[in-house]
Structure 1
Amino acid sequence: MTSLALDSSPTALAEEASLAALLRCCVREVAGPRGQVWHAEPYVLLRVAGALLRIRTHGGLALRFEGPPEWLEHGCWQPLSADLLVRLVESELGGSNEEFAAQVEASRNAMTTLLSVRRDATPPADPWLASEQGLVFGHPFHPSPKARGGADWLRYAPEAHAAFPLRLLGVRDDVLAEAGDTGALDGLGPAPHGYTLLPAHPWQLDLLAAELTAPLADGRLIDLGQGSRMAVPTSSVRTVYEPRIDRCLKFSLDVRITNCVRKNSWYELAGAVELTRRLGPVFESLSAVFPGTRWLPEPGYRSADLGTRLLEGLGVIIRTSPWSVCRPGVTPLLSGALAVPGSPPAEPVRWWRAYVERVAPPVLDAYLSHGVVLEPHLQNVLIGVDEAGLPVEAVFRDMEGTKLVAGRHDLSGLPERVAEALTYDAAGGWDRVVYCLMVNHLAEIAASLAGPGSTRELWAAAGEVLAGYADSVGWPQPLSDLLAGAPLPAKANLSVRWARSADRSAGYVPVANPLAVLS
């Protein structure tokens, strides 16, 4: 984001955020790889489709902007708009994606709507849930961070401080599909004899209306009405917190949110339970070595065995809530909310060192010592702060992004598709860890702490924390390269959207390692 006044209109703020996100993508994925980015203090200059652009920057790798971006027209610098930048990107990349401009526009319009609604909406009293609902502008390096399918998205949007009752279904026991520990779901209400309770996201039921007609008519499913409490959507949209049972529930939503249609594939349902079983001992070990390490198990899933479409569409994964794993006196907060520019702590370097100590060593050790690829991006990590606001715990979540390093785990007893979805090769796993930890996560937190100042002191402190961990494990090669300043992999969100590819196929582009100047 740049520096518009807080009383700027929702339309102006949304335009600024959309332009900034697309411009960051251009620096990282379009102009940068073509050698068309130059630093000319206080500006960064870049060329896209022959046009010269400039913007004042700070925040290092995070590319925070100051003042309006400009482009050179007939020898004079003029304000740059998101629409003009879209046309330049289309020209640069070949103009072969007719959806791209509409996606950028839809994202900008969604931001405008959310900003307008939030002015009169009341955030949750729970500080954790309030943090989950604070990501109005989304991923800072995504061309359409708030693009969202479906006509009714606003009533279910966390950023609009939505809350709504779940719909409760009864699944006839002969077509019940479940695995693991699902008993918590039964606390949502009674089911008739011969049926088992299945909560459903009301948006998803609307999306599946045609497919549900037959099983509702013949009694394989019955509609038990609404739940008795208001469920609260978290940052991922499809995962909600259900206060009656103190659990998070991850539903399928057959709509595209940023890059993906957000459904629980059948192998992901099985994989969540399998990973929870395998990761219990891993996190027990990690928390013994790195006090303050927590995780949110996903002990079971429940659905209806009515063909693959409804098995996946009605599938719900149960997730432990963060309040139940944080010790008394510790408040969990979404890391993504802490990366939003705001008031820095009184002692930012001390706070940052504590933050890095909580997050980085357990992530690196999970990979190096246990062959486990955590996905510690800003929406998958919660930071537990003490009463003084100092980070004392890190909570890791979402088994969908967690993988096992191929060759380091015996997966021979699993169905082939489940095993395939649970693994990364060693190099791919390391790239994912380093991207999520260093580029997506720590760089954004550092930029918010530093504000318009330098992040150098913060990265020096981070380097000391990482070197201390490296000493304890004998400086393995991947970690030695990281601390020596090897370029970092950054996920290419613009490229995957332009190619209209699955998110899993997204590649990386190399970006400067902020530790390089310290080595």
Structure 2
Amino acid sequence: MHVPATPAEEAVAVGLDGVRPALGPAYAAALGGARAAVLTRLWRALAFEPLPWVAAREGGPGSLTVLLAGGSRLEGPQPDAYATGPYVEELLLDGRPYRQAARLVAALGVPHGSEFATELDGSTASLALSRAGQPSARPDAAAPTTREWEQRVVDGHPYHPNCRSRPGFSVAEELAYAPEHRPVVELGLVAVRAEECLVTGEWPDRLRDGGRILVPVHPWQAAHVLGKEQVRAGFAAHPLMALRTLAPEGGGPHVKTALSTRLTSSVRNISGYSIETAAAVSAFAQSLSERLDGRLHITRTLGAATAHSPDLAAVLREPPEAYADTASGEQVLPVAALAAFPPARSAAWRAEFARLALSVCLRVLDLGVALEAHGQNLLVVLSPAGAPVRLVYRDLADIRISPARLRRHGLPVPPLSGRLVTDDIGVLRRKLYGSLLTGSLGATAGSAGAFAEAFAEAAGLPATADTGALLTGPLPTKALTLMRLSPGVPGDQWAELPNPLLPRPPAAR
């Protein structure tokens, strides 16, 4: 079935003609799969999120009908909330077929749908470009580096329709800066007088020039946002999964830069609050990890600096490889890369990983910290034989800390206030469950059935109230599409997913 190209799909094709025409055929071949991948993510949202213009949902044998407030009917296959592979190639709106998420959303005519449709169009085209740029066969490697594993995450967020949305990036810039294209990026430096900066932690001498702080900046930021700033030559680095976080080519701390464009859901600048709290949160996290018998390590924030602008700031962070014995054959993988790790496809391996991740993260929650343990922040250390042996967590900018729980365990409360601090049990549980269960573990399993199977084998979990809460109702997940369609509503919004961990009733006889 011929499907006419959308504006973004056509624009990428034209852009490739100008900068890398050899990729054109591969891009054209990847479009069908990219359309299905984004449409599948959108259908998950339409099936489960509390969208105000959805009047009802009616399930049938293998199908679902979404009834819209205006009287329209949207029909598709029965969704699996935890599936990561494309299973939707076409949806029917009042009997008319749609194979492109952008055109479907435009046809729905919902509030803010036009802007969202543009993002979905860009996400689809960018995803096809990402897939087109992959080598046909990877060279054998006994132990890829962590950076190489990160660059194998091609499809982005497993459940967000904006999985590859990169507004403001040209085709040339995607090829030059996106990790899945494996480039080397030249970071720039902006010199700012020390008295005009806020610096926390230890800022290294190599990033100082007399009385000035040298703030690393991403070249996209330098070109599109910091036009009036004097950017000097910096150093070469490899982009990681987060795109704006890079590993210097010569080794050393990872560099998190400001990137003032919306990737998936958020504009990726760096708030003053994150800089102010960076050192205190890092010190607190290190003390907490000491209580976990070596099963969880938290990368240290070594230094953070801002020129009192979210558009000109940077964070230096310890690389996760610091917590693995790579010389003996240990590897460190971000959880999002497990789809490219063949042993993770076995039920036994998934159960072992689920046991480790759940036991550690639930223990941390009981102590008083909810980690945002999604597939980018959470990494797993593998033994030389490929078994999951311990976890590494990075990026402390969006954890939640409960003073009451810390005090209950006799732990010191860090000198913090603001959005990181809460005793609200609902907020704490949503933060962890919505990232670990309906994020990392769900995506690693790839289906509700495989998720339930892995959990059933994950015995020995800590007996806490939080553990019990996993088995009493639906599981929370961020309502990512609702959030994109609610630009005036601050903060996270939530949906509830069917809980594959609940005991199933006996089959009727």
Smaller-chain TM-score range?
A: 0.7 to 0.9
Evaluate the alpha carbon distance shift between residue 170 and residue 124 of structure 1 in structure 2; reply closer, same or farther with a 3 A threshold. farther
| Alpha-carbon distance, 1:399 to partner | 0.7
Offset at residue 133 of structure 1 (A): 2.0
CA contact (8 A) 1:122 1:161 kept: no
C-alpha separation in 2, matches of 1:346 and 1:269: 36
1:366 aligns with 364
Aligned amino acid, residue 294 of structure 1: H
Post-superposition offset of 1:439: 0.7
The separation in 1 between residues aligned to 2:380 and 2:60, in whole angstroms, is 35
Indicate whether 1:481 and 2:502 are aligned. no
- The equivalent residue for 1:203 is 220
CA 1:481–1:274 in 2, change beyond 3 Å: closer, same or farther? same
Matches within 5 A, 1:41-440: 43-49=62-68, 50-55=72-77, 61-62=82-83, 64-66=85-87, 68-71=89-92, 80-87=99-106, 90-91=108-109, 94-119=110-135, 126-152=144-170, 153-154=173-174, 155-183=176-204, 186-187=205-206, 192-212=209-229, 216=230, 223-227=231-235, 230-286=236-292, 288=293, 291-304=294-307, 308-309=308-309, 312-328=310-326, 329-338=329-338, 340=339, 344-345=342-343, 348-368=346-366, 370-408=367-405, 419-424=417-422, 425-440=424-439
Amino-acid identity (%): 25
SS in 1 for 2:163: coil
Distance change >3 Å, CA 100–CA 195, structure 1 → 2 = closer
Other-structure match for 2:21 = none
TM-score, with length taken from structure 1: 0.80
2:114 aligns to what SS in structure 1?
Answer: coil
Q: What is the distance in 2 between the residues matched to 1:406 and 1:278?
A: 12
Q: Deviations over 1:202-255 (max 9, x none)?
A: 22222333442xxx5xxxxxx54232xx30111111111113242111111111
Query: Does residue 460 of the first structure (1) align with residue 477 of the second (2)?
Result: no
RMSD of Structure 2 on Structure 1 (CA): 3.2
- Where 1:85 maps in the other structure, the secondary structure is helix
> Is 1:167–1:199's contact at 8 Å kept on the other side of the alignment?
yes
Q: Which runs of 5+ in 2 are unaligned?
A: 1-25
Q: Is the 8 A contact 1:323 1:332 kept in 2?
A: yes
Alpha-carbon distance in structure 2 between the residues aligned to 1:423 and 1:124: 46
Contact 1:187–1:244 (Cα < 8 Å) also in 2: no
1:165–1:80 distance in 2 versus 1, CA, 3 Å = closer
In structure 2, relative to structure 1, the CA distance for the partners of 1:8 and 1:255 (3 Å cut) is closer
Quote the Cα distance in structure 1 between the aligned partners of 2:452 and 2:414.
48
Taking structure 1 as reference, are residues 508 and 57 closer, same or farther at Cα in structure 2, changes over 3 Å only? Answer: closer
1:198 to partner: Cα distance: 3.2
Distance 1:422 1:81 in 2: 38
1:15 aligns with 2:35: yes
Structure richer in helix, relative to its length = 1
- Unaligned stretches of 5+ in structure 1? 1-5, 217-222
| Correspondences of 1:496-515 after superposition (within 5 Å) | 496-501=483-488, 505-515=491-501
The answer for the alignment partner of 2:19 in structure 1 is none
Q: Cα distance 1:376–1:347, how it changes in 2: closer, same or farther (>3 A)?
A: closer
Equivalents in 1 of 2:379, 2:413: separation in Å? Answer: 33
Preserved CA contact (<8 Å) 1:294 1:326: no
Distance 1:505 1:52 in 2: 29
Q: Cα deviation per residue 1:19-74 (whole Å; 9 max; x = unaligned)?
A: 1111111111168985414151xx2322253324222666x633645463343766
Structure 1 residue 358 displacement after superposition: 2.3
Matched residue SS, 1:135: coil
Contact 2:286 2:298 in 1 (8 A): no
Deviation at 1:103, TM superposition (A): 1.1
For the residues of structure 1 that align with 2:220 and 2:283, how far apart are their CA atoms? 31
Q: Is the 8 A contact 2:199 2:305 kept in 1?
A: yes
The answer to whether the Cα contact below 8 Å between 2:378 and 2:393 also exists between their aligned partners in 1 is yes
Residue by residue over 1:465-506, the C-alpha shift from the partner in whole angstroms, topping out at 9 and shown as x without a partner, is: 3xx223xxxx33332231x3421111100111001256x612
Determine if the alignment matches structure 1 residue 469 to structure 2 residue 461.
yes
Find the aligned partners of 2:91 and 2:55 in 1 and give their Cα distance: 20
The count of residues paired between Structure 1 and Structure 2 equals: 464
State which drifts further: 493-502 or 256-265. 493-502
The one-letter code matched in structure 1 to 2:47 is V
Distance 1:518 1:282, change over 3 A: farther
Question: What is the CA–CA distance in structure 2 between the aligned matches of 1:30 and 1:412, rounded to whole Å?
Answer: 36
Q: Deviations over 1:153-179 (max 9, x none)?
A: 412111222221211344444434311
Change (3 A) 1:34 1:396: farther
Query: Structure 1: how far apart are the matches of 2:116 and 2:452?
Result: 36
- Contact persistence 1:128–1:331 (CA under 8 A): yes
How much does 1:192 deviate?
Answer: 4.5
User: Aligned in 2, Cα 1:437/1:347: closer, same or farther, shift over 3 Å?
Assistant: closer
Matched AA of 1:86: V
